[in-house]
Structure 1
């Protein structure tokens, strides 16, 4: 993992607030989530950034160095985004600045936008951080967010409208020589002793996974976060099992198996600010996103057959999930900080 601009914003927020707890509140994050992020940043940089005493936190010499650079880099990058946005807007051309976490429909969506608007700017910002993308939409540096979540958009900034594109079952990805590889479905409890891996992210997925395992009567090993390519390699080598969307592609040496009872679900969500011009193109993006999802299903016939027996899953109706303007309403902001997904 590399140091990113959002990491610098977190470090700066902690220094300005004087405590991790106050900084978490200012950023709209849970305190444990910010603590985990700080630990990741410190691992990236190879040292401790803050020391804690009864008055709060104080930067170490390494922390002072990082803060000095952050105070220069953050305004510079923000200014660059603002100037680029003004240049595009002045040209009078519709723009589609999309931020996305890993997901199977991103490529198809971008391709359809490029085909439909060959003269218009279409850009993609990819990261594993849902919080980073949502904040960039709030700040006006992106027009749309394409995110994944298991149950709640906990900690994301308020003011955006969210529309579910699809809801998918989470399956388990096994080595094709695993003793359970030939089963039609597997219960989580049968995998209680396994080493788990999953994709990086700052959503609530780990909490949802732990709760699902608790309902099966066991506490799982904490999943190791690893990029998708490495995850396939590790599973194929028999080193772990992975949690994956049911639409996961087939890779030699691995097999995806449904989890009995669908204990975990993954939602693909499109978000935008209802008080910006992006709201006028939201219906278009939703339509292209659905087309891209259905295209993926054509390439995954096994999962498509499974979905046919679970009609509550798959493509979701175009109904706004938050108060405010959905795909056919009028503007209106929501002040809820942790909106639940319908």
Structure 2
């Protein structure tokens, strides 16, 4: 088999994510298909490229040599493609965003601020997928939510600017939950609950939950997995609780509460392709995103007190 650039990109993605399942998600293919592709590449180069274990994948010595050459070739390919695409403020800007309550407001304001440019939006909870989409040129700009447990690399052609330095992650529960009337919930009081796995678990959100729970004296029982918003019926019925982004709005039969001492936090980072967008366009998008997020933070009865008490985390618009 002759190696192609898609093969090189696949093995580099496996190395960067440290997992076949995460790499498959980032590449938009099934894990069995990626496994077959990897086996073909390994037959072509004459040896095993990765060691697989319960904790993920690690390159073999042969894998390290192949990856070094593959990364050089992919950088050259990306640079070649970038030379053919010049910044264009009158075309289409492909934007990605973490799942946030403010995305609708943000798009509306972008349409008003840049009437000659159409902004398309991909909402994606996984920071890994957003980072790969930026790195590989499938997105021009993205707001990436990063857990304190993991710093997601955005790639060599991607510039970045912090939008919000830190915000607490809140917990949602049924209005009938025994902690629903508390102004703040001690994490230890949730030791007996079933949890919905946090979205973007491979980005560190699940590790952050487990780490915080260990410090609180228990191990969380992760019983359910559901896409963003997909676990509301489980929460409403009292069968599960779930971590949520702090500006999230929920129906009256679900309660959102802060956790005592903010044991789980995240930050929001704006990343963009230097070869696709001008600084003026990036500044305009940053200001719109900052204003939209601030507006929704102020509209949240649960999050607003924390937001007002921590002006140091507010977006810096200069």
TM-score range, shorter-chain basis?
0.7 to 0.9
Distance (whole Å) between structure 2 residues aligned to residue 276 and residue 45 of structure 1: 31
Q: Give the match for residue 62 of structure 1.
A: none
- Per-residue deviation, 1:245: 1.9
Contact kept? 2:87, 2:278, Cα under 8 Å:
no
Distance (whole Å) between structure 1 residues aligned to residue 241 and residue 113 of structure 2: 40
Contact kept? 1:144, 1:278, Cα under 8 Å:
no
Distance (whole Å) between structure 2 residues aligned to residue 144 and residue 229 of structure 1: 24
Say which SS state the counterpart of residue 169 (structure 2) adopts.
strand
Q: Give the match for residue 321 of structure 1.
A: none
Q: Give the match for residue 48 of structure 2.
A: 56
Q: Give the match for residue 163 of structure 1.
A: 161
- Per-residue deviation, 1:266: 2.1
1:184 maps onto 2:183 in alignment: yes
Contact kept? 1:134, 1:157, Cα under 8 Å:
yes
Gaps of 5+ in 1: 1-8, 59-81, 319-326, 328-342
Contact kept? 1:232, 1:251, Cα under 8 Å:
no
Say which SS state the counterpart of residue 228 (structure 1) adopts.
coil
- Per-residue deviation, 1:195: 1.1
Say which SS state the counterpart of residue 180 (structure 1) adopts.
coil
Say which SS state the counterpart of residue 162 (structure 1) adopts.
strand
Provide TM-score, normalisation by structure 1.
0.68
Distance (whole Å) between structure 2 residues aligned to residue 96 and residue 239 of structure 1: 41
Calculate the aligned-residue CA RMSD, in Å: 3.7
Distance (whole Å) between structure 2 residues aligned to residue 153 and residue 232 of structure 1: 29
1:103 maps onto 2:105 in alignment: no
Say which SS state the counterpart of residue 213 (structure 1) adopts.
helix
Contact kept? 2:212, 2:263, Cα under 8 Å:
yes
- Per-residue deviation, 1:185: 1.0
Distance (whole Å) between structure 2 residues aligned to residue 90 and residue 148 of structure 1: 25
Distance (whole Å) between structure 1 residues aligned to residue 191 and residue 204 of structure 2: 20
Aligned pairs (5 A) from 1:20-169: 24-25=14-15, 28-30=16-18, 33-35=19-21, 49-50=35-36, 56=48, 93=90, 95-151=92-148, 152-166=150-164, 167-169=166-168
Q: Give the match for residue 264 of structure 1.
A: 264
Say which SS state the counterpart of residue 267 (structure 2) adopts.
strand
- Per-residue deviation, 1:115: 1.0
- Per-residue deviation, 1:263: 0.5
Tell me whether 293-302 or 179-188 shows the greater mean CA deviation.
293-302
CA gap 1:247/1:269 in 2 versus in 1, 3 angstroms: same
Distance (whole Å) between structure 2 residues aligned to residue 131 and residue 40 of structure 1: 7
CA gap 1:220/1:99 in 2 versus in 1, 3 angstroms: same
Q: Which runs of 4+ in 1 moved over 4 A?
A: 35-41, 43-55, 89-92
Distance (whole Å) between structure 1 residues aligned to residue 24 and residue 109 of structure 2: 38
Say which SS state the counterpart of residue 230 (structure 2) adopts.
helix
- Per-residue deviation, 1:106: 1.9
- Per-residue deviation, 1:239: 1.1
CA gap 1:187/1:148 in 2 versus in 1, 3 angstroms: same
1:316 maps onto 2:306 in alignment: no
- Per-residue deviation, 1:264: 0.8
- Per-residue deviation, 1:275: 4.8
Distance (whole Å) between structure 2 residues aligned to residue 225 and residue 269 of structure 1: 26
Distance (whole Å) between structure 1 residues aligned to residue 26 and residue 158 of structure 2: 28
Say which SS state the counterpart of residue 229 (structure 1) adopts.
coil
